[in-house]
Amino acid sequence: MKDTDQQVRSRSWKQDPEAVKADILTVAREEFAEHGLSGARIQQIVERTKSSKRMVFYYFGDKEGLYRAVLEEAYRGIRWQESELDLDGLPPVEALLRLVEFTFDHHRANPEFIRLVAIENIHRGRHMADMSDLADLNRAAIETLETICATGIAEGVFRPDVSPLILHWQISAMCFFNVANRHTFTRNFGTELFSDEAQKDLRASIARTLVEGVRLRP
């Protein structure tokens, strides 16, 4: 009868809003990545949290607000990691190879993020509408490629008409697909491309393909 969906929880860290929010976000991220926006259950998120359902609404407004916060945080987190890569001074072909391989590994290491992006695409990117500071974060990715391309063209090893944006698009496509479509691909064509060994080869293969795709030929 009486529906009371409160939950007992330790009051150990009360009075630290940021910690509470972070706690919620961490769990929410996992749940949204696992079940999608409509599939995730606030109750289930909260049960794995030191917080309460009420707090979710207090801090994030509603379910979509929480989802949006998760998405934003996910993007922010990803970009930070990307900046770890240092390609300065490398010859352009080498740099591109390294960038592709790094991206490939990076995507593989962050399947949860990939899932969130896939989910957000199902929602037609609707929830990214007002994530203003996203553009800045993404510009960095393009700038890296702009540098590589400029050098490559200047050195005469890249075609003069290579487009950093398209190149980024191609790298993303390959690396994203590898994680995001793994399951259906596996069901259709077997698991042979997804052993650790095979992934190394696959990575080499796509790195090579992308390099050959931009290489200037006499």
Binding site for DNA (CB under 7 A): 2-6, 11, 14-17, 20, 40-44, 51-58, 62-64
Comparison of 85 and 202: residue with beta carbon closer to a copy of itself:
202
Looking up tokens 């050195």 gives: 155
Binding at 200: pick from a copy of itself, DNA, none (beta carbon under 5-8 Å per type) = none
List Cβ neighbours of 145 (8 Å cut-off, separation of 6 or more). 99, 164, 165, 167, 168
Residue 121 binds a copy of itself, judged by CB under 8 A: yes
Comparison of 6 and 10: residue with beta carbon closer to a copy of itself:
6
Comparison of 18 and 133: residue with beta carbon closer to DNA:
18
Q: Could you write out the DSSP letters of every residue in 173-196? A: HHHHHHHHTHHHHHHHH-STT-SH
Taking the complex as a whole, the smallest distance from the CB of residue 89 to a copy of itself amounts, in Å, to 26
Taking the complex as a whole, the smallest distance from the CB of residue 151 to a copy of itself amounts, in Å, to 20
Q: What 3-state class would DSSP assign to 123? A: coil
Provide the CB-side half-sphere exposure for 154 (13 A, CA): 8
Angle 134-154/63-82 helices, nearest 10 degrees?
A: 30
Taking the complex as a whole, the smallest distance from the CB of residue 71 to DNA amounts, in Å, to 15
